[in-house]
Structure 1
Amino acid sequence: MFTTIHAGYHPIGLEGLKLPKQFTFPFYYTPHPLCVKAAEEVQQYLKIQTDFEHNFGLEDGAEGLIIGKMFGVMLVETRTGHIGYLAGFSGKLGERNFVEGFVPPIFDTLNTSGFYKKGEHQLNEINTEIEALESAENYVKAKVELGNLHQRYEQELKEFKIYLKTQKKVRNQKREEARLELHADALADYESQLDKESIALHYKLKHLKLEWKLRLAKADEKLQLFEKVISNLKTQRKKLSAQLQRELHQSYSFLNAEGEHKDLLNIFKTQPPAAAGECAAPKLFQFAYKNELKPLAMAEFWWGASPKSQIRKHKQFYPACRSKCEPILGHMMEGLVVEPNPIFEFKSIKRRLDIVYEDNYLLVINKPEEVLSVPGKTIKESVLTQLRAYLPDAKGPILVHRLDMSTSGLLIAVKNEKTYKNIQKQFINRSIKKRYVAILDGEIPTTEGCIDLPLRVDLDNRPTQLVCYDYGKPAITKYKIIEVSEGKTRVYFYPITGRTHQLRVHAAHQLGLNAPIIGDDLYGKKGKRLHLHAEQITFEHPVKKEKVTFTVPSPF
């Protein structure tokens, strides 16, 4: 039951559940059971509410632009020891910042009497004035006239220069003929006359240029009467916009557990990203601190249809975004005891290299799941570091390709640079064939097919990838269904290209198979492991010049 005590606080029963010992690390987490319970209450409210109108894309025929939304819940403790939760949403709901039962925004940009709306109104008035001036008949006519004059000038100048060249040839011809027919005195007089004709034509050219310069200056002066006014308005608009933006960024002031304030300019040091501070998480923290509520845990879930580019599943939990929220929450969580970032947790590789094949030129390795192919920024242990220890005399690059940290399966390693170049060329030519096996969370109705969805990195939330037809790189995957049972699908993937997270996105995206790989903590639901395994690889041996195939059956 979505019961409001005051503003955005809601009581919640513990029902034997233990409170969390540390606050959630918001960028990689498993939702606490009490957060799941709170989220379910909010979701139930969203199903039946009549407090606002917003098209989440869940009902056929609903009016308005379809906009799915991220919601957040925060488990909190009152000063008297009562446990409850806060609910928040990212951005706006039905073009509203305030909805009963949800925490308010950090700053209300919709307040009609506030500086932002007033400044926005001023900017709109300036824009309207600029548009009116730029479309005014006299201004447009002056621009056209100046443009036409420039064209006429260029044409006349071009024609006169051609005439000059023609006359020069004529004079030269006359000189040659006169040298054969005239005596010296008469020839000198005749050549002097020809020189005068040449000088006269050049004076005429100079006069032509001067005449056109004056005409163009007059037309430009007429145009400048309009453009000066427009330019002044644009300068005024730029100044007002910068001032308004700065004042807005200063108005987004965030508290932390120690009572310290920081605005967007102090947090980001550079230009803050658009809509920074509008996500659910900062709103939840701000309300908690302002009302002396102790944050205990939090979780965020998606409600609505999936957007076209990102992978967002209805009712599924997701981490906070990186580009906007990470710097802000970094400040807001100061003073809280927060779960450690799992990325910084050292994971020692206990297993030895699982060598499937080895000769004097190369090795085929079976990489375990949750092991890096190459060293990362924070974790240095990897398959590559193991290989360097195993092959101390190897020259040049050793690993020819990589697998995601969470993916297990076959990797090719080489012992010399010549072999590396040979295998690398096979990858470039796409003559190397790979087969992956995966288990998907969902039943796929087709038996086989091809997925063609271009990918690029999500700049707001690295390392996740987006489907992007404008800037994405080609990404093509063939697939074949092996088995469908009890809501799960076992599938073979045959990647034609090798983009980052290609198989994971192609499986999860609504335009792909619309069924994330089980255990996918980025595009699906976190599990014990990612059920994706590179089980077979076929290539030409660089020395034997024969096709070789290696297979390691899936461990799941």
Structure 2
Amino acid sequence: MFHPLDIKAPIPVRFNNPFDYEPDALCRAAVKELQSKLPVNPIEGKMYGVLIVMNKGRLGYLQAYSGQIENEPEGFVPAVFDYLQPNGYFKIHEAEISSLNHMIAQLQASEEYKEAQQQLKDIQQEAQKVLDEKRNVMQAAKALRDKRRKEAFISEQEHNEMIRQSQFLKAELHRTKLTYNEQIDAAKQRLQLLQDKITAWKRERKLKSDRLQYWLFSQFSLLNARGERKNLLDIFRDYYLLNSAARTRMVQKLSASADKTEDKNISISLLPPSGAGECCEPKLLQYAFLQGYKPISMAMFWWGPAPKNEVRQHGSYYPACNGKCKPILMWMLEGLETNCDTASNNTEQTIEIIYEDSYLAVINKPSGLLSVPGKSEKPSVYSILKERWKGENEPFMVHRLDMSTSGLLVIARNLSVYKALQKQFLHHEVSKRYVALLPLSFLEKHKPTDGRITLPLTPDVNDRPRQMVDHINGKSAITEYHVVGKTKYGKDNQEAIKIQLHPQTGRTHQLRVHCAHKEGLDTPIIGDTLYGKRDERLWLHAEHLEFTHPITAKDMSFDSTLL
């Protein structure tokens, strides 16, 4: 498991931040060795990771992959908990759940079930047809009686005959309804018996699945740098109650309720997500702690084709995910000196005021500055303008830019102007244009010079703020683009491809995903740490903004150059 590393490079004083890092020379050397042993063109992609460790004064690395494989390849650290043993608890109970799945699928596909469904459908259709015919006969007979009454005087005998006819037809309709209702009830009962079986099996499957998942989470006992242990259930519960205000409020509300059946809802809200504990990072740290190795630094990379909905670049480094890994790593890194909290939260940043009057302002936001305050105390466009307009106005953020994106923003100085500008955005009356820089490899994709990207987006619930393409449940996201040509950028004056992006919708990370995803431009924007590779900054800039001034009705047009 321990792979010696023969390299002359400085050893970091602190462990790197797994959620925001640039791989050091040690990690890059270890990754290079690992990649040389991996398949060149794997059929499926997978996340791999390395952990640089010190073993009794000897430098080396551990390697891991995310998830579990029944026939584990040699040289990788083992799973935190191996639940794939052929005759183990998990496999036995998984087989029971699989058996229920088979029983449900078999009954739903059976001739008996299909016949019961079809019989009910046929009887209902036949009943509707026959009853409609009888109602038509009744209406026709009534029309003839009414016509007869208008045409001539009718005798008492004929009048009584008309009444008998009407009563007979009504009674006949009623008898027919009763007959068909009995047949429909019988068909429904036959189908319901089968559906009750399916419902009972599904209920049993859910119960077994929940119990198995709960058991599985309890078996993942994870060490931290102090040698203390916690299972996944305790790790996520403690993390959620400390860091998730929504979950904390829910627990407080349900705990105060007299209805103790709500305890189950509390437990569910604090459970780990599926697959927690199986990523590279916890596997690597767990093995290092068990062996008494000192962790130095770590790095993760994707190898192979990307999943259909996600953006993953072959060979690119990625940070640890927030949903599954963050609670675990916050626990496991306790007792280890890290870079997680070394960055200052109060870095001085300024904004360029492009235009300002009593009603609104247009500013040029630098890359790295938040648009609105986050959980930390980092400055934002909002906080800077609030201080600038202190005692005069409150900033109203009409729209936002990602922290890493630079460029033009319009901010209202009162509620009525805010609402008027929001209305313009809602009705697509605001013109926005972005400029982005792509690596020269974009030319190899042979994309049209002009095009339209329509990829619906949805949040990656296990790794926010990342977004995924979801053609079924995603929200519509449309971007028009134009390739401008080659340009120079950055401190080293490197070459890149400049493109203009015109978003027709305003989804989170829309432009970044539409550029990076294989169904879009298949080329991440330079410096995109979430969907591509790190650079001195994210080279995405809101360069043009055009709207109508809500008070003066003048056309307002602004341009800003990507520096």
* Separation of aligned partners in 1, 2:310 and 2:180: 58
Of 542-551 and 301-310, deviating more is 542-551
- Shift of the 495–249 alpha-carbon distance from structure 1 to 2, 3 Å rule, reads same
* Separation of aligned partners in 1, 2:508 and 2:525: 15
Give TM-score, length-normalised by structure 1.
0.80
In structure 2, the residue matched to 1:77 is: 54
In structure 1, the residue matched to 2:260 is: none
> Per-residue deviation at 1:501?
2.8
CA contact (8 A) 1:98 1:105 kept: no
CA contact (8 A) 2:435 2:500 kept: yes
In structure 2, the residue matched to 1:459 is: 461
CA contact (8 A) 1:518 1:525 kept: yes
In structure 2, the residue matched to 1:4 is: none
Q: CA RMSD in A?
A: 3.6
1:252 partner letter: F
1:488 partner letter: E
> Alignment partner of 2:38: what SS?
helix
1:240-279 to 2 correspondences below 5 Å: 240-269=208-237, 270=268, 271-279=271-279
In structure 2, the residue matched to 1:401 is: 399
1:115 correspondence with 2:89 = yes
1:295 correspondence with 2:295 = yes
> Per-residue deviation at 1:69?
1.1
- Shift of the 487–307 alpha-carbon distance from structure 1 to 2, 3 Å rule, reads farther
1:24-63 to 2 correspondences below 5 Å: 24-46=16-38, 56=42
> Per-residue deviation at 1:101?
0.3
CA contact (8 A) 1:433 1:494 kept: no
1:484-499 to 2 correspondences below 5 Å: 484=487, 488-497=495-504, 498-499=506-507
In structure 2, the residue matched to 1:528 is: 536
Aligned-pair identity in percent equals: 39
> Per-residue deviation at 1:158?
3.6
> Per-residue deviation at 1:12?
2.0
* Separation of aligned partners in 2, 1:74 and 1:372: 32
1:339-387 deviations in Å (ceiling 9; x for gaps) = 2247x84124354x53233345443322233222222222353222222
* Separation of aligned partners in 2, 1:147 and 1:133: 18
> Per-residue deviation at 1:209?
4.0
* Separation of aligned partners in 2, 1:127 and 1:426: 51
> Per-residue deviation at 1:175?
8.0
1:144 correspondence with 2:118 = yes
* Separation of aligned partners in 2, 1:370 and 1:251: 41
In structure 2, the residue matched to 1:355 is: 353
> Per-residue deviation at 1:224?
5.9
> Per-residue deviation at 1:102?
0.3
> Per-residue deviation at 1:428?
4.1
CA contact (8 A) 2:485 2:498 kept: yes
In structure 2, the residue matched to 1:283 is: 283
2:29 partner letter: K
* Separation of aligned partners in 1, 2:435 and 2:146: 85
CA contact (8 A) 1:447 1:481 kept: no
> Alignment partner of 1:102: what SS?
coil
CA contact (8 A) 2:440 2:497 kept: no
* Separation of aligned partners in 2, 1:529 and 1:481: 21
- Shift of the 222–25 alpha-carbon distance from structure 1 to 2, 3 Å rule, reads same
1:356 partner letter: I
CA contact (8 A) 2:437 2:499 kept: no
> Per-residue deviation at 1:28?
1.3
Of 68-77 and 381-390, deviating more is 381-390
In structure 2, the residue matched to 1:155 is: 129
In structure 2, the residue matched to 1:104 is: 78
In structure 2, the residue matched to 1:62 is: none
1:321-400 to 2 correspondences below 5 Å: 321-341=321-341, 345-351=344-350, 353-379=351-377, 381-392=379-390, 398-400=396-398
In structure 2, the residue matched to 1:59 is: none
- Shift of the 356–204 alpha-carbon distance from structure 1 to 2, 3 Å rule, reads closer
* Separation of aligned partners in 2, 1:231 and 1:368: 57
* Separation of aligned partners in 2, 1:199 and 1:436: 77
1:276-325 deviations in Å (ceiling 9; x for gaps) = 22211121122223333333321111112333433322222110111111
* Separation of aligned partners in 2, 1:491 and 1:521: 19
* Separation of aligned partners in 1, 2:202 and 2:424: 56
- Shift of the 283–420 alpha-carbon distance from structure 1 to 2, 3 Å rule, reads same
1:73-116 deviations in Å (ceiling 9; x for gaps) = 112233x3433221000124xx5451100011233343221222
- Shift of the 120–554 alpha-carbon distance from structure 1 to 2, 3 Å rule, reads closer
1:380-413 deviations in Å (ceiling 9; x for gaps) = 5322222233334655654433322223333333
Of 132-141 and 329-338, deviating more is 132-141
Aligned residues: 521
In structure 2, the residue matched to 1:15 is: 8
Q: Which runs of 5+ in 1 are unaligned?
A: 1-7, 49-54, 57-65
Q: Which runs of 5+ in 2 are unaligned?
A: 238-267
- Shift of the 175–396 alpha-carbon distance from structure 1 to 2, 3 Å rule, reads farther
In structure 2, the residue matched to 1:450 is: 451
* Separation of aligned partners in 2, 1:200 and 1:431: 68
1:493-508 to 2 correspondences below 5 Å: 493-497=500-504, 498-508=506-516
1:89 correspondence with 2:89 = no
Of 461-470 and 322-331, deviating more is 461-470
CA contact (8 A) 2:408 2:544 kept: yes
1:475 correspondence with 2:475 = no
* Separation of aligned partners in 2, 1:308 and 1:170: 68
1:503-551 deviations in Å (ceiling 9; x for gaps) = 4334434444444333332233333333333344444555665555444
* Separation of aligned partners in 1, 2:363 and 2:199: 66
- Shift of the 190–545 alpha-carbon distance from structure 1 to 2, 3 Å rule, reads closer
> Alignment partner of 1:86: what SS?
strand
1:228-247 to 2 correspondences below 5 Å: 230=198, 232-247=200-215
1:406-432 deviations in Å (ceiling 9; x for gaps) = 233333334455554554454445454
* Separation of aligned partners in 2, 1:438 and 1:143: 56
* Separation of aligned partners in 1, 2:308 and 2:191: 46
- Shift of the 97–296 alpha-carbon distance from structure 1 to 2, 3 Å rule, reads farther
* Separation of aligned partners in 2, 1:450 and 1:400: 28
> Per-residue deviation at 1:489?
0.9
1:432-455 deviations in Å (ceiling 9; x for gaps) = 444544443335437942351433
CA contact (8 A) 1:516 1:523 kept: yes
Larger Rg: 1
- Shift of the 274–174 alpha-carbon distance from structure 1 to 2, 3 Å rule, reads same
In structure 2, the residue matched to 1:61 is: none
CA contact (8 A) 1:91 1:97 kept: no
- Shift of the 117–539 alpha-carbon distance from structure 1 to 2, 3 Å rule, reads same
CA contact (8 A) 2:225 2:334 kept: yes
- Shift of the 370–227 alpha-carbon distance from structure 1 to 2, 3 Å rule, reads closer
